[in-house]
Amino acid sequence: MRVLQLAMTVVCAGLSTWMAARAETTETYDKVSFYFAAHEDDWQLFMNPSAFQDVLDARRKTVFIHLTAGDGGLGLGSAGRKHPYYLAREAGAETAIRFMADSDGYPSERTATTIMASGHPVRRVSYRNTVAYFLRLPDGHPGGEGFSGTGFQSLQRLAQGRIAAVKPVDASTAYQGWGDLVGTLRAIIDHERELVPTVELNIAELDAARNPQDHSDHRMTAQAALDAASPLACATRRHFVEYASARMPENLGIADRQLESSVVAVTAAGLQALDHPSIWRAYYRTYLGRNYFRTEPGSGRCGMAPADTVASQKPGSGR
């Protein structure tokens, strides 16, 4: 209960300008960790306490890139609640990120903007040593065929060339083919890493023998991340077991389990704050106490990123 109360205190924070975001100097960081998530609760359930430990280190910048809106076929819909479901999903992720960043201090200032990445507008939210991106692409259904409510669009169908383009649920842009989407992710990666010498990518495990029966969006997000980072041989890659982890023994100690559990609980509070159901339910709790991944080391230090293809557009709406 105390975790949920704390979450409610950090749901809303100040809105500043893009210039403030650019004032974040990556030269103060010695590592950038990217967490690629298909949905707004994936890294909390499957990549923790790894993400929490990264955020706790002030020498690191931790970047969370959420590819889909996690809308479950609702698009902009609210399922009869007060707010659109996709915004509640984002609120859950943001609340969890701020909770981690504030765990050793007082709340700070949040900066929300819409930026242009390789010609596409993308929502970017920065907070202390964290950054979150929300591409808001349609949820593709576990099998990858999409939902009728969003025109059967999915990452899988885009990757297979079965659809020519995919649009975010807010229709803010259109990604013309898999390469266009991958190019946008590459621009985001390069923008956030800049001069930082050490880069880490955290993604879903694509080996079906290690991570069987995973969600199509999880697999496609991991593939998009790997494609985007293909020029970065220097980057370490961590591959996480996701749905299958629920059937594996608990492998976290008490302290790490508490970190993981608190982040999931705070995510639940963020959803509830926007009038949508909590994820603090029996099914989701089957993933607690488990953090399985394999590490693929990079080679050498990462050099300077190419010329920046990310530019400012306008401040966000405050949510």
pLDDT for position 301:
86
The count of other CB atoms within 10 Å of the CB of residue 213 is: 10
CA nearest neighbour of 96 among 267, 276, 281, 262: 267
* pTM, full prediction: 0.90
Q: What angle do CA 261, 264, 266 make, to 5 degrees?
A: 105
Average pLDDT, the chain: 90
The predicted structure's pLDDT at residue 153: 98
Question: What's the pLDDT band for 319 if we cut at 50, 70, 90?
Answer: low
pLDDT band at 22 (very low <50, low <70, confident <90, very high): very low
What strands lie across the sheet with 110-117, from one edge to the other?
A: 293-296, 236-240, 199-204, 31-37, 60-68, 130-137, 120-127, 110-117, 310-315
Residues with Cβ within 8 Å of 39's Cβ and at least 6 positions away in sequence, in order, are 66, 68, 70, 89, 139, 215, 217
pLDDT per position as a tens digit, 268-294:
999 999 999 999 999 999 999 999 999
- Do 43 and 51 meet the contact criterion of CB atoms below 8 Å apart? yes
Comparing 152 with 20, which gets the higher pLDDT?
152
Whole-angstrom distance, CA of residue 316 vs CA of residue 121: 11
- For 229, residues 6+ apart whose C-beta sits below 8 A from its C-beta are 186, 189, 199, 201, 235, 237
Return the number of other C-beta atoms located less than 10 Å from residue 249's C-beta.
8
pLDDT in tens, 223-265: 999 999 999 999 999 999 999 999 999 999 999 999 999 999 9
Is residue 19 within 8 A of residue 113, CB to CB? The reply is no
Say whether pLDDT at 317 is over 70.
Answer: no
Amino acid at 37: A
- Dihedral of alpha carbons 222, 223, 226, 227, sign: negative
Nearest to 264 by CA among 92, 133, 88, 131: 92
**Residue of higher predicted confidence among 11 and 89:** 89
- Percent with pLDDT over 70 in the chain: 89
**Paired sense of beta strands 120-127 and 110-117, if any:** antiparallel
In this predicted structure, what is the pLDDT of residue 125? 98
CATH architecture of 2-305: 3-Layer(aba) Sandwich (3.40)
pLDDT at 313: 63
Which pLDDT value is given to residue 316? 55
Tens digit of pLDDT for each residue in 44-64? Answer: 999 999 999 999 999 999 999
Give domain limits for the chain: 2-305
Note whether 78 and 130 are within 8 A (CB). no
Per-residue pLDDT at 314: 62
Q: What is the pLDDT of residue 233?
A: 95
One-character DSSP codes across 163-178: SS-B--TT-S--B-SH
From start to end of 79-198, where are the E strands?
Answer: 110-117, 120-127, 130-137
Among 65-69, 188-192, 211-215, 302-306, the range scoring the smallest mean pLDDT is: 302-306
Q: Which residues have a Cβ under 8 Å from the Cβ of 25 and sit 6 or more positions away?
A: none
Question: What are 166-224's pLDDT values in tens digits?
Answer: 999 999 999 999 999 999 999 999 999 999 999 999 999 999 999 999 999 999 999 99
Residue 232 tokens read as 């970065």
